[in-house]
């Protein structure tokens, strides 16, 4: 009985599938791409025929398969048939490869591969130690000091306030640029000369009679006292709050109209506005604002721009001041963005240009004031006008006549609060004002100049602190001057004096605390120094410094000064941040 052709069809299709699989196998053996393609072509035709294939068709597709692969082939023979066909396929492929003309290998120009940059070795984090004994502390601090920086100059000194012995020193008498550690000297001389409870008063006086109708027939005088607190840091209500309050006091004194001028009296200080040794590149920076006995909002003016309902741009100053004028070419455009340029021209003119979107909520920019007395007197005049007081004359600089009568006065917070803000946030303007205030003294008998302040500081350091006359050169009170020089020994001697002085608690309280407050908030965290070490920082492009106090594990109070001058300041900072906790973990045992 004749068998059904179905098994033959199944077998042939199985053979086709296996041929295709074998072709992929050959490809995996890394035969040439063309050989793999031919192998695939041998396998594909049998996949294309869906009708039962006869023995002759099968033989034509696989030329090497014997004639026994006919209609009588059973499914159980498929494996043997695939083995035979596979052998023939390999032979055919190799034969066709052998017939091809051999090509000479092409020679390529060898190009040098770029050498990969060698990665810098991973440097482990510098960690603090827990020294036991004075010798161990000295050794550990010396090792830390030399472990990171490869250039620059170090000066360091650590002294026990409790026992009086020097625990570590490295270049203690090298004169270095102090940066903001200079504010320690400013704080000490201000406390010494004025006292922690001293306040400054910004006065309004009249030079002429005030009649029953509220008319002042003469000039109104705004007299500065070097008060740094006339700003939103201390007076709530925004940039205009200080002058608004003083204007209300003046209105309360009965003034409604002034026939004369508004005189801005900043004669308590020298006429110079920028200290000697400040670099030209500091100009226009908020941290280097000019100083004056009349200083308002840290001598920063805010330029605001916003679209108005009429389709134009509203450009304004905060605080509003009659001491500066605005020239605006700002255009309103579609959208909500803003591209504004604001700059000061001269001392009293602001140019504002650019575009602002019609849907913008407004933008604000800060500009450093060029003429602080005119700026403040202009803001005071605007505040007086808001209170309904008319001034018929002009704003001009001048001195207060001895016959002038006090109308109102605005006192500052106590000096201790001002010094605390200065040290914790390292505000240079505060330092310049307080340094000159200290030169004037509590009786205000001297001019607040850099020369008088430097002389006063020198006398204090030599006579009371015990420092060498050549240890400190001070040309400003903030440390921003590149001409300032101090020694680590002088810093530690100052800290020792301050620790024992009647105002010592206010001095201690003014310093930032490691890991917790202001400029030390993110330093030395999760170490024995956190919440313990309190010190003044000092940072510029070429200076890193830290000087203050730390309590050791055994209860000793240590005074220290670390100063580095050089370009490797980030490694120097890492070194200091390891030495601080090392001192905190120290114990003599």
What pLDDT score was predicted for residue 64? Answer: 39
**Residue boundaries of the structural domains of the chain:** 6-98, 134-196+415-584, 199-300+360-413
What pLDDT score was predicted for residue 27? Answer: 54
Return the sign of the alpha-carbon dihedral for residues 347, 348, 351, 357.
Answer: positive
Q: What are the residue ranges in the chain where pLDDT is below 50?
A: 1-12, 30-112
Give the HSE-up count for residue 47: Cα atoms under 13 Å, Cβ half-sphere.
10
Taking residue 566's Cβ as centre, other Cβ atoms within 10 Å add up to 17
Instruction: Report d(CA 393, CA 220) in Å as an integer.
Output: 10
Q: What is the fold of 134-196+415-584?
A: Beta-lactamase (3.40.710)
What pLDDT score was predicted for residue 326? Answer: 95
Distance of CA 91 to the CA centre of its chain: 75
Intrachain domains 134-196+415-584 and 199-300+360-413 with the same fold: no
What does pTM read for this prediction?
0.79
* Secondary element (H or E) of residue 396: strand 395-397
Residues 35-53, buried b or exposed e (16+ Cβ, 10 A)? bbebbeebbeebeeeeeeb
Range 199-300+360-413 has CATH code 3.50.80.20: yes
Return the sign of the alpha-carbon dihedral for residues 374, 377, 381, 387.
Answer: positive
What's the chain's average pLDDT? 85
């Amino acid at each position: 009985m004749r068998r059904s052709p179905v098994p033959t069809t199944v077998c042939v299709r199985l053979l086709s599938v296996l041929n295709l699989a074998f072709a992929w196998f050959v490809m995996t053996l890394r035969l040439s791409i063309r050989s793999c393609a031919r192998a695939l072509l041998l396998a594909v035709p049998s996949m294309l025929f869906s009708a039962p294939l006869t023995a002759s068709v099968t033989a034509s597709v696989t030329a090497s398969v014997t004639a026994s692969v006919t209609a009588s082939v059973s499914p159980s023979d498929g494996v043997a048939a695939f083995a035979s066909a596979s052998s023939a396929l390999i032979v055919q492929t190799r034969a066709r490869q052998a017939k091809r003309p051999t090509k000479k290998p092409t020679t390529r120009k060898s190009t040098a591969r770029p050498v990969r940059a060698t990665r810098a070795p991973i440097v482990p984090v510098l960690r603090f130690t827990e020294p036991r004994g004075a010798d161990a502390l000295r050794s550990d601090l010396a090792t830390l000091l030399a472990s990171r920086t490869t250039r620059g100059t170090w000066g360091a000194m650590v002294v026990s306030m409790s026992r009086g012995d020097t625990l570590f020193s490295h270049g203690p008498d090298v004169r270095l640029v102090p940066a903001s550690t200079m504010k320690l000297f400013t704080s000490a001389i201000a406390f010494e000369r004025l006292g922690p409870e001293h306040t400054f008063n910004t006065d309004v006086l009249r030079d002429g009679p005030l009649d029953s109708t509220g008319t002042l027939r003469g000039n109104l005088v705004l007299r500065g006292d070097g008060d740094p607190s006339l700003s939103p840091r201390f007076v709530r209500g925004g940039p205009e709050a200080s002058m608004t309050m003083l204007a209300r006091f003046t209105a309360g004194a009965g003034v409604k109209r002034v026939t004369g001028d508004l005189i801005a009296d900043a004669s308590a200080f020298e006429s110079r506005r920028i200290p000697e040794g400040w670099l030209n590149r500091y100009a226009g920076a908020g941290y280097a604002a000019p100083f004056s006995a009349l200083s308002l909002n840290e001598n920063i003016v805010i330029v605001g721009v916003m679209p108005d309902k009429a389709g134009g741009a509203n450009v304004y100053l905060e605080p509003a001041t009659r001491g500066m004028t605005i020239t605006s070419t700002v255009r309103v455009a579609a959208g909500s963005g803003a591209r504004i340029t604001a700059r000061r021209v001269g001392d009293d003119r602001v140019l504002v240009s650019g575009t602002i979107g019609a849907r913008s909520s407004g933008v604000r920019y800060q500009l450093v004031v060029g003429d602080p007395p005119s700026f403040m007197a202009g803001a005071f005049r605007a505040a007086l006008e808001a209170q309904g007081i008319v001034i018929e004359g002009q704003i001009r600089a001048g001195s207060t006549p001895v016959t002038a009568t006090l109308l109102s006065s605005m006192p500052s917070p106590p000096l201790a609060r001002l010094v605390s803000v200065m040290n914790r946030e390292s505000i240079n303007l505060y330092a310049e004002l307080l340094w000159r205030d200290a030169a004037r003294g509590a009786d205000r008998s001297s001019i607040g100049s850099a020369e008088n302040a430097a002389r006063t500081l020198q006398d204090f350091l030599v006579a009371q602190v015990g420092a060498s006359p050549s240890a400190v050169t001070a040309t400003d009170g903030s440390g921003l001057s590149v001409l300032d020089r101090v020694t680590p020994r002088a810093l530690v001697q100052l800290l020792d004096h301050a620790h024992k002085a009647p105002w010592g608690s206010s001095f201690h309280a003014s310093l930032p605390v490691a890991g917790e407050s202001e400029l030390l908030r993110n330093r030395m965290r999760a170490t024995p120094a956190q919440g313990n070490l309190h010190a003044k920082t000092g940072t510029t492009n070429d200076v890193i410094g830290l000087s203050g106090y730390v309590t050791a594990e055994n209860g000793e109070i240590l005074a220290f000064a670390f100063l580095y001058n050089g370009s490797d300041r980030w490694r120097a900072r890492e070194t200091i941040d390891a030495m601080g906790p090392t001192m905190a973990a120290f114990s003599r045992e």
